[in-house]
Amino acid sequence: MQEFQDKTVLVTGGATGIGRAAALAFANAGAAVMIGDVDERAGETAEIIKSRGGSATYQPTDVTDRSQVDSLLAKCVNQYGRVHAAFNNAGILPPPTPFHEVTESNFDRTIAVDLKGVFNCMQAEISHFLENDGGVILNTASIAGVIADPQMAPYVAAKHAVVGLTKAAAIEYARQGIRINALAPGLVRTPMTEPWFQDEEFISSFLEASPIGRGAAPEEMCGMILHLCSDAASFTTGQTFIVDGAQTAH
């Protein structure tokens, strides 16, 4: 499949986990991939793509800083001409904390990366798309953007807000050729959740309650990610798509 031939896709948080899997999948489908991340392992993601004959560039980018996001877009335009699709995926997961013990700095940091980071990227991308015949945005929310889990209030709040930003922007720009959706993964085994997988007691009780009985590999998110960013999803906008092995179905 070369669904993304001659297309450029921007991926944030492409150093590891879901972002790396998505960057590789987009490249495999023919896209040139621009990766923004604070983690230098995003350079390895770009190298893997190039070693397979694809085109990729890593630009160090902190999504909490609007000027760095603007530089990422500018680099992408300079290198590849324009952006066709953007996967705003960078995020952090703060350690589980009872609501009344959440510190101000923990709250502020989670909101800065998981919410404002997405806002910064969306604003820059939408401005670019308005000048370039439209485009597609996919934001990584979470099932924590749809339901609440205990001891994760800042993350739950940020991810619910990502779902809100997705809807708000989608209705504003639907007539201007800009589609905006969100992905809500369930439990995916990545560096972010590795401590959970190492916690025998937690993971066994979690998996017992999970209909599918396992966590996902990052690659299992890619079918939905590529579909939503492709022309096959041309009438799909303003929605959040849950990929969670039926965790939220009961």
Ligand X SMILES: NC(=O)c1ccc[n+]([C@@H]2O[C@H](COP(=O)([O-])OP(=O)(O)OC[C@H]3O[C@@H](n4cnc5c(N)ncnc54)[C@H](O)[C@@H]3O)[C@@H](O)[C@H]2O)c1
Nearer to ligand X, 16 or 166 (CB): 16
Does the footprint of ligand X cover residue 15 (CB under 6 A)? yes
Q: By CB under 6 A, tell whether 91 contacts ligand X.
A: yes
Q: Is 117 in the site for ligand X (CB under 6 A)?
A: yes
- SS3 for the chain is CCCCCCCEEEEECCCCHHHHHHHHHHHHCCCEEEEEECCCHHHHHHHHHHHCCCEEEEEECCCCCHHHHHHHHHHHHHHHCCCCEEEECCCCCCCCCCHHHCCHHHHHHHHHHHHHHHHHHHHHHHHHHHCCCCEEEEEECCHHHCCCCCCCHHHHHHHHHHHHHHHHHHHHHHHHCEEEEEEEECCECCCCCHHHHHCHHHHHHHHHHCCCCCCECHHHHHHHHHHHHCHHHCCCCCCEEEECCCCCCC
Does position 192 interact with ligand X (CB under 6 A)? The reply is yes
**CB under 6 A: which stretch of 1-9, 87-95, 120-128, 228-236 binds ligand X?**
87-95
Q: Could you tell me how far CA 141 lies from the centroid of its own chain?
A: 7
Among 64, 166, 181, 210, binds ligand X (CB under 6 A): 64
Q: Please name every residue paired with 137 in a beta bridge, in sequence order, or none if there are none.
A: 86, 180
**Is 155 annotated as catalytic?**
yes
Size of the residue set binding ligand X (CB under 6 A): 30
Our finding on whether 38 is near ligand X (CB under 6 A) is yes
Minimal distance in Å, beta carbon 214 to ligand X? 12
The residue from 12, 166, 181, 237 that contacts ligand X (CB under 6 A) is 12
Is there binding between residue 37 and ligand X (CB under 6 A)? Answer: yes
Shortest Cβ 219–ligand X spacing (Å): 11
Measure the CA–CA gap between 33 and 14, rounded to whole angstroms.
10
Residues 137-166: x/- map of binding to ligand X (CB under 6 A)?
---x-x------------------------
Query: Interface with ligand X includes 169 (CB under 6 A)?
Result: no
Span interacting with ligand X, options 11-19, 71-79, 128-136, 227-235, rule CB under 6 A:
11-19
Q: Which of 58, 80, 155, 173 is catalytic?
A: 155
CB-based contact 12:37 (threshold 8 Å): yes
Catalytic residue set: 155
Binding site for ligand X (CB under 6 A): 12-13, 15-19, 37-39, 61-64, 89-93, 113, 117, 140, 142, 185, 187-188, 190-193
